[in-house]
């Protein structure tokens, strides 16, 4: 027994000496990661720096959200094909909505309720109400509904500007008519421009599962605050493939407040045309890759009066970083005309700050000829040598956009003088859409031309 114990001790000592020799002779010659590879040496995780809980509890936010998210059913009146009389109602489509006040105001997507004859809203407790459309904003795909109810559970608006990439979020809605569904994910990106139309969009991107029927539902943070209205899916199948998009809550809230206070959406603009700095840097030798390069400043606009000039690069607005054009449009869309914002630019390598008052964005789309117009400033009218007219801002079709008509003044429609956007809207609403339309243009060099669309 003593002999066995002695052999065991000798073996252990031999192992220790061999291991020590390995470290002494082998590791001394081994290359040091810190010294030779140019990257930091491995450092063990300090567990006192790890958050107290990495298992975030979603139950409170989920339970509060479920009672504030409703099922919206788009009903259309049907007619008897033989008599022409009304035969009843048929379900045209479904979506979701978010109760934002205890007295029954509901936010949803415009495409959920578009062309509806009747709207039925079903609460989480299965109570049904008929809803009234208070107002819509098709451009942002937001609509405001109202049901006749009191003391409802609702979701408070959160500050979507404070939402962080990587932050946990919940998507709450009614996908595929599966009521009261909650999915979890993170914020994958902010200010995402999908390029779905010719307007720059600014969405929150998330990997929380969103499918048809989720439209108009809630995107909430772990505190149960509404930070987005789930709106879009980009996939080849029409169903969730890993990411989806929501209108930021700051934009949705502003639209709702505008509809309630003014009856329509009040949009403010800086008054610039620009491109992303990364795109402009190749042509202008900029050493800045993030920001919005100001290509042109509209005369008489807030940017013009504040002192912003062509060649400036906008990097911040009200301490919000502007890295790309959708950052700028997303933030400005949450503001109103006459709001003053602090615009930080880089000019000749130096930062400058301008207090800029936003102007009201007044436009009208003349769809019959594929052009969008806005009110022309006195300076623009004087330069074109005309006394009245509206300015073309962009083409609505690829063909009209290729004509490069920006800045051209329209002085007459159907031989009737137009002075502003309201004149254009009034004329277009009164005319027969089947009649030819004549338009008189005056180009920036003063050349006058008249065209007829049939």
> Residue 420 and residue 443: Cα distance in Å, rounded?
17
- The question of whether 141 is a catalytic residue gets the answer yes
Task: Provide the 8-state DSSP code for 362.
Answer: -
From the list 65, 96, 201, 215, the catalytic residue is: 215
Residue 108: per-residue pLDDT: 97
> Residue 406 and residue 392: Cα distance in Å, rounded?
5
Q: Does domain 160-262 have CATH number 3.40.50.720?
A: no
- Angle formed at CA 444 by CA 275 and CA 438, multiple of 5 degrees: 105
Bridge partner residues of 69 (DSSP): 98
Residue 48: per-residue pLDDT: 52
CB of 72 closer than 8 Å to CB of 92? no
> Residue 442 and residue 158: Cα distance in Å, rounded?
48
> Residue 321 and residue 190: Cα distance in Å, rounded?
12
Ramachandran quadrant class, 396 (left: phi over 0; alpha: psi -120 to 50; beta: rest): alpha
H helix runs in 26-94, sequence order: 33-36, 59-66
Q: Where are the domains of the chain?
A: 61-146, 160-262, 268-360, 363-453
DSSP string, 257-306: HHHHHHSS---EE--EEEEEHHHHHHHH--S--SSEEEEEE-TTSHHHHH
> Residue 229 and residue 140: Cα distance in Å, rounded?
11
Selected residue with higher pLDDT from 15 and 425: 425
Q: Give the residue among 307, 296, 361, 309 at the shortest CA–CA distance from 332.
A: 361
Architecture (CATH level 2) of domain 61-146: Beta Barrel (2.40)
CB-side exposure of 280: number of CA atoms within 13 Å? 24
Does residue 425 carry a pLDDT above 70?
Answer: yes
268-360, superfamily in CATH? PDZ domain (2.30.42.10)
Residue 377, Cβ density class (10 Å: 0-12 exposed, 13-18 middle, ≥19 buried): middle
- The question of whether 180 is a catalytic residue gets the answer no
From the list 137, 141, 258, 304, the catalytic residue is: 141
**95 Cβ partners below 8 Å, 6+ apart?**
72, 74, 108, 109, 111, 112, 113, 173, 174, 213, 214, 215, 216, 217
Residue 203: per-residue pLDDT: 93
Helix (H, G, I), strand (E, B) or coil at 220: strand
Segment 143-161 shows an average pLDDT of 95
Write down the pTM of the prediction. Answer: 0.76
The CA-atom distances, in angstroms, between 293 and each of 203, 298, 308, 342, 352 are 21, 14, 11, 17, 14
pLDDT band, very low/low/confident/very high, at 122 (cuts 50, 70, 90): very high
Residue 287: per-residue pLDDT: 80
Residue 446: per-residue pLDDT: 80
Does residue 43 carry a pLDDT above 70?
Answer: no
Selected residue with higher pLDDT from 84 and 286: 286
- The model's pLDDT over 58-76, given as tens digits with 9 standing for 90+, comes to 999 999 899 999 999 988 7
Selected residue with higher pLDDT from 360 and 35: 360
| Domain covering 363-453, topology | Pdz3 Domain (2.30.42)
Please give the backbone phi and psi of residue 48, each rounded to the nearest 5 degrees, phi first.
-75, -10
- The question of whether 111 is a catalytic residue gets the answer yes
pLDDT band, very low/low/confident/very high, at 232 (cuts 50, 70, 90): confident
- The model's pLDDT over 319-378, given as tens digits with 9 standing for 90+, comes to 999 999 999 999 999 999 999 999 999 999 899 999 999 998 888 889 889 999 998 888
Does residue 198 carry a pLDDT above 60?
Answer: no
Does residue 52 carry a pLDDT above 70?
Answer: no
């Amino acid at each position: 027994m003593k002999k066995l114990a002695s052999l065991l001790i000798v073996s252990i000592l031999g192992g220790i000496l061999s291991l020590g020799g390995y470290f002494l002779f082998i590791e001394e010659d081994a290359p040091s990661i810190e010294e030779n590879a140019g990257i930091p040496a491995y450092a063990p995780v300090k567990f006192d720096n790890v958050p107290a809980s990495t298992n975030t509890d979603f139950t409170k936010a989920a339970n509060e959200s479920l009672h504030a998210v409703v099922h919206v059913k788009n009903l259309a009146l049907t007619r008897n094909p033989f008599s022409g009389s009304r035969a009843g109602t048929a379900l045209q489509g479904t979506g979701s909505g978010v109760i934002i006040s205890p007295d029954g105001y509901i936010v949803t997507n415009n495409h959920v309720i578009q062309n509806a004859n009747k709207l039925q809203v079903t609460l989480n407790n299965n109570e049904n109400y008929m809803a009234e459309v208070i107002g819509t904003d098709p451009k942002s795909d937001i609509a405001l509904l109202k049901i006749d109810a009191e003391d409802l559970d609702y979701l408070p608006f959160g500050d979507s500007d404070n939402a962080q990439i990587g932050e946990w979020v919940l998507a709450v809605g009614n996908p595929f008519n599966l009521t009261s569904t909650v999915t979890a994910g993170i914020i994958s990106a902010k200010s995402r421009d999908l390029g779905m139309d010719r307007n720059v969009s600014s969405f929150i991107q998330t990997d929380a599962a969103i499918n048809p029927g989720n439209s108009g539902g809630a995107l909430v943070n772990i505190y149960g605050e509404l930070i987005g209205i789930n709106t879009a899916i980009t996939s080849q199948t029409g169903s969730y493939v890993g990411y989806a998009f929501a209108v930021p809550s700051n934009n949705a809230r502003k639209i709702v407040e505008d509809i309630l206070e003014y009856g329509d959406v009040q949009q403010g603009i800086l008054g610039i045309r620009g491109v992303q700095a990364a795109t402009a840097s190749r042509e202008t030798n900029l050493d800045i890759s993030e920001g919005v390069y100001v290509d042109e400043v509209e005369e008489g606009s807030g940017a013009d009066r504040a002192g912003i000039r062509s060649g400036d690069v906008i990097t911040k607005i009200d301490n919000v970083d502007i890295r790309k054009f959708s950052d700028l449009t997303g933030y400005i869309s949450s503001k109103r005309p006459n709001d003053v914002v602090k615009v930080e630019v880089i000019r000749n390598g130096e930062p400058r700050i301008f207090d800029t008052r936003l102007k009201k964005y007044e436009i009208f789309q003349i769809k019959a000829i594929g052009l969008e117009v806005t009110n022309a400033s006195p300076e623009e009218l004087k330069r074109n040598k005309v006394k009245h007219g509206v300015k073309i801002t962009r083409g609505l079709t690829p063909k009209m956009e290729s004509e490069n008509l920006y800045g051209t003044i329209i002085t007459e429609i159907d031989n009737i003088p137009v002075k502003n956007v309201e004149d254009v809207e009034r004329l277009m609403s009164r005319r027969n859409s089947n009649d030819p339309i004549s338009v008189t243009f005056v180009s920036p060099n003063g050349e006058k031309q008249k065209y007829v669309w049939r």
